[in-house]
Amino acid sequence: MNDIALITQLILHERQGRDRGWWEQMRAAFLPDSTVNLSWFNGTGPDFVTASENMSGRGDKSVHRMAAPVVQIHGDKGYVEAPAAVEFQITLDNVAVDLISYTRLNYRVERHDGVWGVLSLDAVYERDTITPSVPGEMITIPAEDLAQFRPSYALIAYYLNQRGYRVGKDLLGDDQPEQTVAFYAETLAWLRN
């Protein structure tokens, strides 16, 4: 397999491990000194796997619908951007709903001793949606409850906040393009150096 295929499989195996609860597969994707920064977690890759396992154990599960990743390689470094729809089937106010967060998952990867591993994972949030699972059902979320959250991830933040997870207000999102542009510039500079 060439490096693009190896890196693509690394990323897909990491997400598959998380979605299926295959924690050792997920854990194997992360380098020991890796970092993760997304809606409900900011810390190391290994701690992210443990936190994901705990989250799943609480019944808080999601599925990641991945689009084809774009992979760039420079020597022993790689950068991957993979669009994803993060899907939750949840209940809010006794109504079954489908919550979808559209995001771009950004991975820095490095090759150590001939093996690629995840060095960092950062999410760039685009938007999210929520709809009743059953046609005709109604869900109402007061505008003032959503106003405390950023537009690019307001609904997922609202839900996670209700479940007891702390969601950062400084995440990368399309609603703050200057921050996102700076993130991409810094990531590409890292790749090329």
Q: What is the pLDDT of residue 115?
A: 97
Q: CA 64, CA 102: separation in Å to the nearest integer?
A: 10
Residue 154 identity (one-letter amino acid): A
Contact 37, 171 (CB under 8 A): yes
What is the pLDDT at residue 84? 98
pLDDT at residue number 188:
98
pLDDT value of position 76: 98
The answer to whether 84 and 71 have CB atoms below 8 angstroms apart is: no
In contact, 44 and 75? CB cutoff 8 Å: no
What averages of pLDDT result for each successive group of 10 residues across the chain (193 residues)? 95 98 98 97 98 96 96 98 97 95 98 97 98 94 94 96 93 97 98 95
CB 44 within 8 Å of CB 35:
yes
Please give the pLDDT value at position 179: 97
Please give the pLDDT value at position 114: 96
Whole-prediction pTM: 0.95
- Residue-range domains of the chain with CATH: 3-192 (3.10.450.50)
13: which 2 tokens? Answer: 């195996």
